[in-house]
Amino acid sequence: MNLSERIAVLVQLGQELSQPDEDRTALIKASYRYNQWFTQENYESAIQAIGSQMLQQSLLENWVKPYNISDETPKETVGMVLAGNIPLVGFHDVLSTFICGHISQVKLSEKDKLVLPYLIGRMAIYDERVNSYFNFVDRLANFDRVIATGSNNTARYFELYFGKYPNIIRKNRNAIAVLRGNEPKEALRDLGKDIFTYFGLGCRNVSKLFVPKDYEFSPLLEELHEYREIIEVNKYKNNFDYNFTLLILNSIKYFSNGCILIYENEAIQSRIASLHFEYYSDEKDLENKLTKHQDEIQCIVSDQPVKNWKHIPLGGAQNPGLEDYADGVDTLAFLTKTKTPTA
């Protein structure tokens, strides 16, 4: 398949994702039995984001233009270890490998092993040559380069096993929000999407707030209360209750509205149903605090510019585009051995 043919197949898949599919829905329901964080609502949210933000012809064509993607380039086998923290979290890596014309050797997460193979199967219906580009395995072997995603702990093992190969090895990261104290109610409500979507389990979920001294939390808590139905999910409520108990036992001051716990903590990553915050005194202080944690920050959401950082409007963290690379590592540049394009 040449590049145009691969793009055409991806566009067809994108069109299909916008339509109801009983078989896909059945697999989503089956995935929920494996992993009860994967609700149908969250799975459909991921699928619609992929369809609208990634699988559009103009987006794909503009994305690949700066790179050396030649139909004459020898195919390589790219070993992939996919994460399973949110639905289809490894889709961008699979998409990148396919569009470059390489072969994906994929080790699926046990938490998310049904829907991605189905989507590849749907692509193969449009063009049976798609099957030759994908191989789902229990163990990686005979590959040329590696993309592996996991926790800080598993990353150490990845570096040990895959260090001699060209690789991208990803660790824990989270999104953070920078607030100024003058955000409109609608923006604060949108921030709830960044916090609560996928129950906060994604690397693009906001897990920490940076707020000015004397920040008033009441307006934020009031707007986040619009997402109160999340507490009806049993696994989320169990985490909320557990973390609430820890705060009480340790006499930690906190703010809460019944569906989220907000407390001061320097760490970027927070527990499920919790949100850390840290005060900053001025722009210089904010800059220093962000720089300190730059290797832990996936992206920043803010209603206003943040010096030296690209920012996303509040509510936009969970709609990444093709150029929103995880950990800021350009996957297409890695796969095509070309230099990352400059903005």
Q: Is the residue at 69 inside a domain?
A: yes
CATH code at position 219: 3.40.309.10
> Which residue is it, tokens 């206003």?
304
- Which pLDDT score, from 0 to 100, does residue 342 have? 57
112 and 71 in one domain? yes
147 and 182 in one domain? no
Bridge partners (DSSP) listed for residue 210 = 178, 278
CB 150 within 8 A of CB 83: yes
In the chain, pLDDT over 70 holds for what percent of residues? 99
Q: Is the residue at 209 inside a domain?
A: yes
Question: Mean pLDDT over residues 58-73, rounded?
Answer: 92
- Which pLDDT score, from 0 to 100, does residue 340 have? 64
Strands 274-280 and 255-256: unpaired
212 and 192 in one domain? yes
178 and 118 in one domain? no
Q: Is the residue at 343 inside a domain?
A: no
158 and 56 in one domain? yes
Range of the domain at 240: 174-312
Model confidence pLDDT, tens digit, residues 14-43: 999 999 999 999 999 999 988 999 999 999
137 and 27 in one domain? yes
> Which residue is it, tokens 């078989």?
23
Q: Is the residue at 342 inside a domain?
A: no
Model confidence pLDDT, tens digit, residues 108-128: 999 999 999 999 999 999 999
Nearest to 176 by CA among 298, 303, 86: 298
- Which pLDDT score, from 0 to 100, does residue 63 have? 97
Q: What is the 3-state secondary structure (H, E, C) of the chain?
A: CCHHHHHHHHHHHHHHHCCCCHHHHHHHHHHHHHCCCCCHHHHHHHHHHHHHHCCCHHHHHHHHCCCCCCCCCCCCEEEEECCCCCCCCCHHHHHHHHHCCCEEEEECCCCCCCHHHHHHHHHHHHCHHHHHHEEECCCCCCCCEEEEECCHHHHHHHHHHHCCCCEEEECCCEEEEECCCCCCHHHHHHHHHHHHHHHHCCCCCEEEEEEECCCCCHHHHHHHHHHHHHHHCHHHHHHHHHHHHHHHHCCCCCEECCCCEEEECCCCCCCCCEEEEEEECCHHHHHHHHHHCCCCEEEEEECCCECCECEECCCCCCCCCCCCCHHHCCHHHHHHCCCCCCC
Dist. CA 44–CA 210, nearest whole Å: 31
- Which pLDDT score, from 0 to 100, does residue 70 have? 86
Model confidence pLDDT, tens digit, residues 66-107: 998 988 878 999 999 999 999 999 999 999 999 999 999 999
Dist. CA 105–CA 142, nearest whole Å: 9
Dist. CA 165–CA 104, nearest whole Å: 15
Task: Count structural domains, the chain.
Answer: 2
Global pTM value:
0.93
108 and 254 in one domain? no
Checking if the pLDDT of 244 tops 90, the result is: yes
Residue 111 exposed, middle or buried by CB count within 10 Å (0-12, 13-18, 19+): middle
Considering just the CA atoms, what is the radius of gyration of the chain in Å?
A: 21
Model confidence pLDDT, tens digit, residues 300-330: 999 999 999 999 999 999 989 999 999 999 9
Dist. CA 184–CA 178, nearest whole Å: 14
Dist. CA 153–CA 171, nearest whole Å: 8
Question: Mean pLDDT over residues 190-202, rounded?
Answer: 97
Question: Mean pLDDT over residues 181-204, rounded?
Answer: 97
72 and 55 in one domain? yes
- Which pLDDT score, from 0 to 100, does residue 338 have? 76
Average pLDDT, the chain: 95
Q: Is the residue at 341 inside a domain?
A: no
Laid out side by side, the sheet with 167-170 consists of 134-136, 103-107, 77-81, 145-149, 167-170
Dist. CA 108–CA 177, nearest whole Å: 31
CA distances from 83 to 170, 263, 285, 326 (A): 10, 28, 34, 12
Model confidence pLDDT, tens digit, residues 271-308: 999 999 999 999 999 999 999 999 999 999 999 999 99
CA distances from 79 to 94, 136, 146, 228 (A): 10, 10, 5, 41
Number of Cβ atoms within 10 Å of the Cβ of 232: 9
Checking if the pLDDT of 343 tops 60, the result is: no
Backbone angles phi, psi at 79, to 5 degrees: -80, 135
